[in-house]
Amino acid sequence: MRLGRSMRALSVALTIIGLMALWQIICWAGSIPEYILPPPSDILLRMIEDADSLYRHSLITLWEVFLGFAMAVVIGIPLAILLVYSRYISQSFFPIIVGIHCVPMVSLAPLLIIWFGFGLLTKVLIAFLISFFPIVINTTVGLRSMEKEMLNLAKSLRASSAQTFLYFRLPKALPSIFGGLKVGITLAIVGAIVAEFVASEKGLGYLQLMANSQLDVTMEFAVIFTLGIIGIGLFNLVGWIERLSMPWYHATRKEAD
């Protein structure tokens, strides 16, 4: 198992190195100006030179992402449970949730600034709104995916509603729930960055906005690379929690492969 993970990590690393090398060659061979497309070597050097600034702004963005995502999980999963177990709430609110999900959450940023100002709350709310709906919808779909035969088995074992939920419905729904969490954590990053574009004086979004105003393309790419590292790290963190929560699921997938 560890060998398989090591091989996957190695293949990803080699792919990234190959793409970076191709990018570097194109920049050198095509004599592309740095203000249009800087080579990866310059970007990495800039990341090292401005590591302190990138680190400080990354901590601010990560805090906004964490708070927004945590709100989405704490509110979204219980709401999904209510949607599954309450016919009234399901019929009344689920179509509304789907409809609101179709509205670009970014368009709400100016309103949130008017209501809550330029502070942390606005950025957290935007991260929350963008990550909230995938979590609710995926969790609802997962909780509704339990087969009728499994429900009949729970009834034949005289399981209570709580036992049916804990031992039958929830384990069946966990793959969908974690699918929503993986999408949600990446969208929370998008929400935080968009919020920093609109209303912030710190954070990676603000840093990129300042670099853009100064036509500092190398710094813009340094921020983009940093965001990519953060996104991959957070996605893998959710994946690690998923593996801890569902060892049987991943064992079954490995056997199938």
Q: Which domain holds residue 5?
A: 1-32
Distance CA 66, CA 58 (A): 12
If one counts the domains in the chain, the total is: 2
- What is the rounded distance in angstroms from the CA atom of residue 105 to the CA atom of residue 127? 9
What local confidence, expressed as pLDDT, does residue 37 receive? 86
Whether residue 109 sits in one domain with residue 18:
no
Nearest one of 234, 78, 46 to 170, comparing CA atoms? 78
| Nearest C-alpha neighbor of 98 from the set 83, 110, 115 | 83
Reading the chain (257 residues) residue by residue, the pLDDT tens digits are 555 567 777 787 888 888 989 988 988 887 788 878 898 989 999 999 999 999 999 999 999 999 999 999 999 999 999 988 888 888 888 788 777 777 777 777 778 888 887 788 888 999 998 999 899 989 998 888 877 777 777 778 777 777 877 888 888 888 899 999 999 999 999 999 988 888 778 889 999 999 988 888 999 999 999 999 999 999 999 988 988 887 766 555 555 44
Do 205 and 251 belong together in one domain? yes
Residues 44 and 28 grouped into a single domain: no
Domain containing residue 164: CATH number: 1.10.3720.10
> Rounded to 5 degrees, what angle do the CA atoms 187, 189, 195 make?
105
> How far is the C-alpha of 70 from the C-alpha of 128, rounded, in Å?
8
* pLDDT of 253: 58
The pLDDT score that the predictor gives to residue 247 is 76
Same domain, 7 and 118: no
Same structural domain, 118 and 169: yes
Regarding whether 81 and 12 lie in a shared domain, the answer is no
Do 19 and 49 fall within a single domain? no
- 116 plus 2 within the same structural domain: no
118 with 166, same domain: the answer is yes
